[in-house]
Chains A and B, each alone.
Chain A
Amino acid sequence: MSSESVTATFEGNEQEICSELFAVVEAVSLKPVRLTKSGIPPKPLWNAINQRLVWQDPAALLYDWEEIDQVRFIYRLAEALDLFRPDADGWLRVAPGADQFFFAPLLGRARMLHHAYLRVFDWDERCDARDDEGHRFNFGRAHRRDFVHDPMDLRLATLTLLDELGADWVPTAQLATSLSTRVPDLLSSEACEPVATDATGLDPEKLRFVNYWFTLVARFGWADMGRLSHAAPTARLARASALGRALVHGGTVSEADGPPIEIGARLDVRLHEEARASDRYAVHRLTASEGNDLRLGLAGIRKAASDGADVRACVEHIRARAIGERDALDELIAQALPAAPAARIVHNASLVELDGADVSAAEAARQAEVAHNASGALAAGLRAITFFSALGGEPEEGFTYPSEEPLASLEPGPTLTLPYEELPLQHRDLLVLLGAERDCGPLTLDAPALARAKAAGWTLKTLCAALAELTQKSVPAAIRAAFAETLP
C-alpha cells in the first residue's frame, strides 16, 4: 500500500500515556487523598485526574465511578504500575513503582506498561464505548462483566495482532477478521447468540473493537493508525511503530531527546511545555514539598528520600537532562546523597523459586542479570519484567504479599498447617526452622522446634506475632502458654 495515499494518520506517541500516568501521580500528591470506605478514590481526585487528561471523561459523568471510563482506566493502570499505593490508613502515596517506571528506558517502560496493562482490573475495553448521545454502547453488546473471556484473555488475544504488523500499513478489517477467526466469542457473553460474520469472515463488531483498540495502543506508542483518503471512516489502517516492533520482536529503539530541563543560578527549574513525562516526574518528586516553586534544594531532596524516593535516580535523571547551572546542581548532589549508604531497600521485588533441575530458568536468571542462587532468583522493577520475559512469562503459581488469605492455621497440639502446596515466603526462615520443607505438611510446634526458634533469637512475643501474621488470627492463650514454657 502506498504511504502517499494514507491520510489522517494518528502517530503513536508513548509520551501521551506517560503524561497521563504522571497526571495521576501529580493529582495524588497535590493534597492528602484517602480512599473511601468502599476502596475507591474520592471524587475530588477523579476531578483532579480528569482535568489533567488528554482523553477526558465528560464532566456530566463525574458522579459515578463506574461511568468514568477514562479516569478509571488511567487510575487503574497507574495502580497496576504501582505509581501510587495506599498506606496502612488508606492515604494515597506516590509509590516505588513510579521511580521504577519513569526512570526506565523507553523499551523498558513499554515492557512495564505491557505487564501492567494485562493486569488492569475494574475496567474492561469492551465497556469503554459510547454512542453519539454519550450512552454506553458496549462492544459485542454484552452486559458488562458477563463476557465469556476475562479482560486479561481479551488483551492477550488482541495483543497478538501486533505480531501480525510490521512497518507497513495493514487494513484493520484484515486484523479484525484474523481476530474473529481465532477467537469468535471474544466480545460475547455466555448468553449471546453465535457471532454473525459476513462472507469474508468479518464480524463488524470486531472491526469496531479493533479500530478502538488500536487507538488505545497508539496512546501507548506501540502502533500508528491511518486512513486511505478515499475510504469510508471505518476503513482504517494500522501499523506497528518502532517501539511496538521492538516490544514484540525484540531489538532496540531510541528515545527522542525532547527539550532539556533548564536549571537556573538558584537551582530554580524550568520545564518546557513539551517536557518529557519523566523530566516532569523527576522534578516533581524532588520539589513537591516546595509549593509552586520548582526549585531544587536539600529540604526537597531529604523529604523525597524520607517518602521512599530513589533520590539518586531522580537527581541522576535531572543531571543527565539538564542544561544551565550544572555546577550548582553537582554541589547539591554531593551534599544531598550519602557517598556510600550502608544499606539499600528495594521495593516491588519478585522471587521466583527455581528447581535445581531446571537449567533453562537458571539461564534466564543469568541472561537477565538478576540475583540468583540454586533455589531462587530475586529481581525488582524492570529487571524482574526482563527476567519473566526470558523465562517465557511470569509464573502463574505464586503468592502476592500481603496475602489476602491466611497462609497458615494453628490448631491445638499445637500444630501449624500450611494450606498451600508451596511454602510462602512470608516468615520462610522461621517456617524452615520449625521443620517445614518445600512439600508442606503440618508442623508440630513441639519443644525441640521451639528450642530451635529460641536459639535463632525468636522470643515468645516475636514468634506469636509472626504466627498471627501467617494465620491472620491472634495466637490462642492456651497455645501461647504452652510456648511460654520454652520461649523467653
Chain B
Amino acid sequence: MNAPPARDPVVHRNLAVLEVDDPALLDELSVNPKVRQYLWHRFDARRMVIDPAAVDRVAAAVQGPGRDVVTRIDLDGAP
C-alpha cells in the first residue's frame, strides 16, 4: 500500500509555552480547576501550550515557596 501524501504543514503562531523540568508539575496543573481552561495543549512531558492572554494566571498557579516562574526568550530545545 502506498503511504498517503504528506500534508502541507500548518503553523500556529503567537503561543505561550510553559516549560518545566519536572513533568509532575504539569500533571498537577492539569487537574487544577482554576487554570484548566488556560491549558490548551500538552505538547510533551515538559511543555504545555497555554493561553497567551492568561500567562499571569497560570504563573500564579505554579508559583509558591521555592517555585519560581521566570520568563525566557527561548525554549531549551531539549527533549
Indicate, yes or no, whether A interacts with B: yes
Q: Which residues of A contact B (CB under 8 A)?
A: 88, 96, 99-100, 103, 305, 308-313, 338, 340-355, 357-358, 361, 369-371, 373, 376, 378-383, 391, 394-402, 422, 424-429, 456-459, 461-462, 465-466, 469
Contact (Cβ within 8 A) A373 B44: yes
Contact (Cβ within 8 A) A428 B41: yes
Contact (Cβ within 8 A) B18 A343: yes
Cβ < 8 Å to A, chain B residues 2-55: 3-22, 25, 30-31, 33, 36-37, 39-44, 47, 49-53, 55
Contact (Cβ within 8 A) B11 A398: yes
Say whether, besides A357-B6, A378-B43, A462-B33, A397 and B73 are in contact (CB < 8 Å).
Answer: no
Chain A residues with CB under 8 A of B17 = 345-346, 349, 378, 380
Contact of A305 among B15, B30, B70 (CB under 8 A): B70
Contact (Cβ within 8 A) B68 A401: no
Contact (Cβ within 8 A) A395 B36: no
Chain B residues with CB under 8 A of A458 = 36
Best-surrounded residue of B3, B36, B76 (most CB of chain A within 10 A) = B36
Contact (Cβ within 8 A) A344 B19: yes
Best-surrounded residue of B20, B39, B43, B53 (most CB of chain A within 10 A) = B43
For the complex, give the distance between the alpha carbons of A429 and B48 in Å.
Answer: 11
Contact (Cβ within 8 A) A341 B70: yes
Q: Shortest beta-carbon distance, A6 to chain B, in Å?
A: 40
Contact of A350 among B11, B41, B62 (CB under 8 A): B11
Contact (Cβ within 8 A) B43 A351: yes
Q: Shortest beta-carbon distance, A86 to chain B, in Å?
A: 12
For the complex, give the distance between the alpha carbons of A457 and B51 in Å.
Answer: 18
For the complex, give the distance between the alpha carbons of A400 and B10 in Å.
Answer: 11
CB nearest to A358 among chain B residues: B6
Q: Shortest beta-carbon distance, A245 to chain B, in Å?
A: 26
For the complex, give the distance between the alpha carbons of A340 and B79 in Å.
Answer: 18
For the complex, give the distance between the alpha carbons of A350 and B68 in Å.
Answer: 24
Contact (Cβ within 8 A) B74 A358: no
Q: Shortest beta-carbon distance, B72 to chain A, in Å?
A: 4
Say whether, besides A100-B73, A305-B70, A305-B71, A351 and B11 are in contact (CB < 8 Å).
Answer: yes
CB nearest to A357 among chain B residues: B6
